Structure 1
Amino acid sequence: MVIAVALVGLSTAHAEYDDGRPRNPRFLLMDSQGHSIDETTFAGRFQLITFGYTFCPDVCPTTLAEMAQVLEALGDGAAGLQPIFITVDPARDTPEVVGRYTAFFDARIVGLTGAPALVARVAENYRVRFEVVREPGAAEAEYSVDHSAGMFLLGPAGEYLTKFAYGTPVPVIVRRLKAYFDAARYR
Structure 2
Amino acid sequence: MILLLALGVTLVGLGPARAEFDDGAPRNPRYLLMDSQGHSIDESTFAGRFQLITFGYTFCPDVCPTTLSEVAQILEILGEGADQLQPVFITVDPERDTPEVVGRYTAFFDKRIVGLTGSPALVARVADNYRVRYQQVREPGAAAAEYSVDHSAGLFLLGPSGEYLTRFAYGTPVPVVVRRLKAYFDAARYR
Q: Same fold (TM over 0.5)?
A: yes
Return the alpha-carbon distance in structure 1 between the equivalents of residues 78 and 166 of structure 2: 18
Residues 1:118 and 2:122 are matched in the alignment: yes
Give the match for residue 62 of structure 2: 58
Give the match for residue 37 of structure 2: 33
Residues 1:82 and 2:86 are matched in the alignment: yes
**5+ residue gaps in structure 2?**
1-21
Give the match for residue 170 of structure 1: 174
Return the alpha-carbon distance in structure 2 between the equivalents of residues 19 and 78 of structure 1: 26
Residue aligned with 1:68, SS: helix
**5+ residue gaps in structure 1?**
1-17
Give the match for residue 5 of structure 2: none
What is the aligned length?
Answer: 170
Identical amino acids, percent of aligned pairs: 86
Give the match for residue 156 of structure 1: 160
- Normalized against structure 1, the TM-score is what? 0.90
Residues 1:70 and 2:65 are matched in the alignment: no
Corresponding residue to 1:109 among 107, 113, 117? 113
Are 1:46 and 1:154, in contact at CA under 8 Å, matched by a contact in 2? yes
Structure 2 counterpart of 1:21, which letter? A
What root-mean-square deviation, in Å, do the aligned CA atoms of Structure 1 and Structure 2 show? Answer: 0.7
Return the alpha-carbon distance in structure 1 between the equivalents of residues 109 and 30 of structure 2: 25
Residue aligned with 1:84, SS: strand
Residues 1:144 and 2:148 are matched in the alignment: yes
- List structure 1 runs of 4+ shifted beyond 3 angstroms: none
- Normalized against structure 2, the TM-score is what? 0.88
Residue aligned with 1:41, SS: helix
Structure 2 counterpart of 1:51, which letter? F
Corresponding residue to 2:133 among 129, 143, 161? 129
Return the alpha-carbon distance in structure 1 between the equivalents of residues 71 and 141 of structure 2: 36
Return the alpha-carbon distance in structure 1 between the equivalents of residues 38 and 62 of structure 2: 27
Structure 2 counterpart of 1:44, which letter? G
Return the alpha-carbon distance in structure 2 between the equivalents of residues 19 and 146 of structure 1: 17
